[in-house]
């Protein structure tokens, strides 16, 4: 393995440097993330930062006495919960309608000594069945 010693004066050229963000920038981005219907990921992407870093800033900016996101979600769930409305029953719809009787087709088919009698309601499905049987 080949290694080169680095002197303290030259430093490591591959050393990672961290970006420093101002408090004003953090406050502005946190305010954007806390707006209703704002996505942490989209706010972070629009400002060129990592979404996890933004979540840490949001968590750090909220005081300990403030309700957590779970409490906010519970309030939203209560607001979106099912509300039963009183219904008035229409008495004309309470009784089932009388069945509609359609005309009946009676079909007799005889082949040799075999005779078949079929009674079908006069609907389009019956006509299709008759066409299929008679070929």
* Angle in degrees, CA 52, 57, 59, rounded to 5: 95
| pLDDT digits 0-9 by tens, 108-124 | 888 888 888 888 887 77
Residue range 16-30: mean pLDDT, rounded: 88
| Summary mean pLDDT of the chain | 77
Query: Count H helices, E strands: the chain?
Result: 6, 2
The string of pLDDT tens digits covering residues 56-70 is: 999 998 876 455 555
Q: How confident is the model at residue 42 (pLDDT cuts 50, 70, 90)?
A: very high
């Amino acid at each position: 393995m080949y290694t080169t010693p680095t002197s303290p004066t030259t430093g490591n050229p591959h050393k990672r440097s961290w970006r420093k963000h101002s408090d004003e920038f953090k406050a502005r981005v946190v305010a954007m993330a806390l707006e209703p219907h704002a996505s942490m990921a989209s706010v972070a992407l629009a400002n060129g930062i990592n979404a996890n870093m933004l979540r840490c800033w949001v968590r750090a900016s909220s005081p300990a006495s403030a309700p957590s996101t779970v409490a906010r979600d519970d309030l939203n769930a209560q607001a979106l919960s099912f509300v039963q409305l009183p219904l008035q029953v229409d008495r004309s719809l309470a009784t089932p309608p009388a069945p509609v009787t359609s005309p009946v087709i009676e079909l007799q088919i005889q082949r040799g000594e075999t005779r078949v009698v079929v009674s079908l309601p006069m609907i389009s499905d019956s006509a299709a069945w008759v066409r299929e049987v008679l070929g």
